Amino acid sequence: MTTARYFQHGDVAVITMDNPPVNGLGAGLRQAIADGLTRAGRDATVRAIVLTGAGRGFSGGADIREFNTPATFAEPNLHTLIRMIEDSRIPVIAAIHGIAMGGGLELALGCHYRVAAPGAQIALPEVKLGLLPGAGGTQRLPRVVPLEMALNMIVSGNPVDSSRFAETRLFDAMIEGELVEGAIAFARKVAAEDKLPRIRDLKVDYPNAQGYLQFARNTVAAVAKNYPAPLRCVEAVTAAATRPFEEGMAIERAGFIALVESPESRALRHAFFAERAASRIPDVPEDTPMRPVKEVAVIGAGTMGGGIAMNFVNAGIPVRLLEIEQAGLDRGMATIRRNYENTAKKGRIPADDVERRMAMIRPTLSYDEIRDVDLVVEAVFEDMDVKRVVFQNLDRLMKKGAILATNTSTLDVDRIAAFTRRPEDVIGMHFFSPANVMKLLEIVRGEKTARDVLATVMKLSKTIRKTGVVSGVCDGFIGNRMIEQYSRQATFMLDEGASPAQVDRAIEKFGFAMGPFRMSDLAGNDVSWYIRKRRYVEKPEYKYSAIPDKLCELGRFGQKTGAGWYRYESGSRKAIPDPVVDELVAKHREALGITPRRIGDDEIVQRLVFALVNEGAKILEEGIAMRASDIDLIYLSGYGFPLYRGGPMLYADEVGLYNVLRAMEGFAANPHGDPGFWTPAPLLAKLAAQGKGFND
Ligand code: NAD
């Protein structure tokens, strides 16, 4: 495969990188650039070289298809290429359009000159993967743009428009017309000047650089608490400002090596790849034809229906909203309006957008008005009989080929599909509350769901800016099935001696956005009570702590009733520990004859997280999840699992499955709780015995 083209234009050689989609600097492309440089260098008729990119931009940096493979480091590597350019007898000019990011920008910084088209996006995004730019970016960028600007770019990773560099030394010229033509003309001009300027020879020019950098270090340290990369970036940029070039390069290199090996970077890279992997479904090829989705109906305008409708409207897809009675419809529409008005008040959408968006929702009480939409999302009461009536109606009335989705959180999607004569058109779209905010969308694949329905909904999840992850059918799907085990462990620990606040504090210190008791107070303690009551009938062998039921019997449903595991002052969401709960817990322990013991934070964290891991292993083994990284993605995007730990399954891999298993054996010896709880999932035991991880 040719990854770069070489073309001679009179006395100027043009090397065009051509490695779709973004000219990723993989081994093949690097070799092709090196070959082009050598060829031009040996050709006495060539007086300058233009390096440019075909297609969408100059270069997006490292070729992610090569990530974690030896090809990343194969010679010629990026350092070698830059050295070749710096040693060139004739000037090399980077001609930039579209994007110059990461290694792509570093390569350009190694050139003698750079010219750019307006509108190109310039960035060093390595920090987003927990790394720092490792090919001189931290040393060269501050030498050509103001120190503060360079540091911001490196620490944030965010792109900056090329026009903003007009006054800096990053670009020697901005080219308005045809880029390569302009670059060739520029190359002829500089070739005549007979100079070979190198950024490495410049000095960082900034008044009181030391003072500014100290201030920056303090700010970054406070903001980036759990992430080591941003501080390493500051350190490398500080070296650029205060030390000779080669020393700075050594500091950058040391930082890069330390970060590549850091668990935080591994976690961020894992999350990055998890997101890409999630949309690949092995038996649904990428070229599966999609069904068009131009208009959507949402059934039920309650808590979920309203938020779901907003998602489609926000993506420009009109919605018809169907309710059973006018009052429900009015209430639902009023809530949606209030949400949009609040967003406008915060300045996140223009004020006149409120009306424009509201006009895209057509409220109705009649199925006749929704029969020709392409997709229906049902969000009515969580009751099989109610769902049956709705799906029978849909089956009777909807046009052929319409996708029929349910937002059920606990009911069997296959049974719902069986209410229709078209189960292949039925799928679960499990949104999370608040549905207009939460990123996660579990896409539940029924036994008979058609492949094109699955492919369409997966693509649609991107259109409405959700993180779509496929789950098979089981009670609770992936996320809630796992969280149930986590919640059970949390309450067993109350039986044994912990307080809700202690459990929450320990797991929040581990990095969870919210501990289990605060979360339950937010979601409503009655929701899990309802599920438990069903379990008592369906799975009597399943053990729960009785404390949550006692709490609910007092009407303490959480924030909405002003009291739950904590108490809440009116209008406030602040969780205040409540002696009433302490007393309830103490009485319960007394009744069970348990002498409370102090449970350490480590034990709390391990019991909660390993409860997730063990259930996750079962889910993986049963094929409910396609891959471990899908489970991690669900926990990162829907359950507040700390991003820098990469999700429960990666965390278990980091701890080592053998160690996870040993800890579980220890917990199994505990006389309280459910004796069967810690029986290891066969997959976990098998991988641990093989010395492998879930993500290997
Ligand atoms: P809700 O009670 O707030 O809203 C349900 C709405 O459906 C009500 O407005 C009701 O009038 C309407 N409705 C009832 N029967 C209807 C019918 N036959 N036709 C049309 N409309 C009808 O409930 P919710 O919390 O929005 O939950 C809806 C669904 O979403 C449930 O299946 C639930 O399990 C699921 N879900 C809820 C959450 C959550 O956190 N609330 C999260 C994920 C999924």
Distance 383 CA to ligand 1 centre (A): 9
Q: Is the CB of 381 under 6 A from ligand 1?
A: yes
Using the predicted structure, report yes or no on whether residue 249 has a pLDDT greater than 90.
yes
Distance 306 CA to ligand 1 centre (A): 10
Distance 305 CA to ligand 1 centre (A): 7
- pLDDT at position 184 is 98
Measured distance between the N- and C-terminal CA atoms of the chain, rounded to whole angstroms? 30
The residue nearest atom 39 of ligand 1, judged by CA position, is 433
3-state percent breakdown (helix, strand, coil) of the chain, nearest 5: 50, 10, 35
For residue range 263-291, list pLDDT tens digits in order. Answer: 999 999 999 999 999 999 999 998 999 99
What token pair was written down for 209? 């650089």
Q: Is the CB of 438 under 6 A from ligand 1?
A: no
Percentage of the chain exceeding pLDDT 90: 94
- In terms of phi and psi (left: phi > 0; alpha: psi -120 to 50; beta: otherwise), the region of 410 is alpha
Q: Is the CB of 531 under 6 A from ligand 1?
A: no
- pLDDT at position 542 is 85
Distance 378 CA to ligand 1 centre (A): 8
> Residue 71: pLDDT band by 50, 70, 90 thresholds?
confident
- Ligand 1 pocket test target in 303, 311, 388 with most atoms within 8 Å of CB: 303
> Residue 667: pLDDT band by 50, 70, 90 thresholds?
very high
Ligand 1 atom showing the smallest separation from residue 410 Cα: 34
Average pLDDT over every residue of 78-85: 97
- In terms of phi and psi (left: phi > 0; alpha: psi -120 to 50; beta: otherwise), the region of 13 is beta
Ligand 1 atom showing the smallest separation from residue 331 Cα: 9
Average pLDDT over every residue of 295-322: 97
What token pair was written down for 50? 């233009």
For residue range 139-163, list pLDDT tens digits in order. Answer: 999 999 999 999 999 999 999 999 9
**Rounded-to-integer distance, Cα 628 and Cα 129, Å:** 19
Ligand 1 atom showing the smallest separation from residue 390 Cα: 18
The amino acid at 484: E
Between the CA atoms of 356, 313, 119 and 230, what dihedral angle is there, to the nearest 10 degrees? 120
Using the predicted structure, report yes or no on whether residue 294 has a pLDDT greater than 80.
yes
- pLDDT at position 194 is 84
**Rounded-to-integer distance, Cα 144 and Cα 527, Å:** 58
Q: Is the CB of 324 under 6 A from ligand 1?
A: yes
- pLDDT at position 65 is 82
Ligand 1 atom showing the smallest separation from residue 306 Cα: 26
For residue range 522-532, list pLDDT tens digits in order. Answer: 999 999 999 89
Q: Is the CB of 545 under 6 A from ligand 1?
A: no
Using the predicted structure, report yes or no on whether residue 66 has a pLDDT greater than 90.
no
DSSP SS3 for 48: strand
> Residue 1: pLDDT band by 50, 70, 90 thresholds?
low
For residue range 162-194, list pLDDT tens digits in order. Answer: 999 988 999 999 999 999 999 999 999 999 998
> Residue 100: pLDDT band by 50, 70, 90 thresholds?
very high
Q: Is the CB of 382 under 6 A from ligand 1?
A: yes
Mention every residue, 6+ apart, whose C-beta is less than 8 A from residue 400: none
Asked if omega into 70 is within 30° of 0 (cis), the reply is no
Distance 429 CA to ligand 1 centre (A): 13
> Residue 547: pLDDT band by 50, 70, 90 thresholds?
very high
Distance 20 CA to ligand 1 centre (A): 45
Average pLDDT, the chain: 96
Residue with tokens 């003072």: 211
**Rounded-to-integer distance, Cα 342 and Cα 354, Å:** 10
Asked if omega into 76 is within 30° of 0 (cis), the reply is yes
Predicted TM-score of the model (pTM): 0.94
φ, ψ (nearest 5 deg) of residue 399: -65, 160
- pLDDT at position 473 is 98
Using the predicted structure, report yes or no on whether residue 128 has a pLDDT greater than 90.
yes
**Rounded-to-integer distance, Cα 80 and Cα 67, Å:** 19
Any idea which residues carry the catalytic annotation?
A: 106, 126
Q: Is the CB of 390 under 6 A from ligand 1?
A: yes
Structural Rg of the chain based on CA atoms? 29
For residue range 343-369, list pLDDT tens digits in order. Answer: 999 999 999 999 999 999 999 999 999
Q: Is the CB of 409 under 6 A from ligand 1?
A: yes
For residue range 407-449, list pLDDT tens digits in order. Answer: 999 999 999 999 999 999 999 999 999 999 999 999 999 999 9
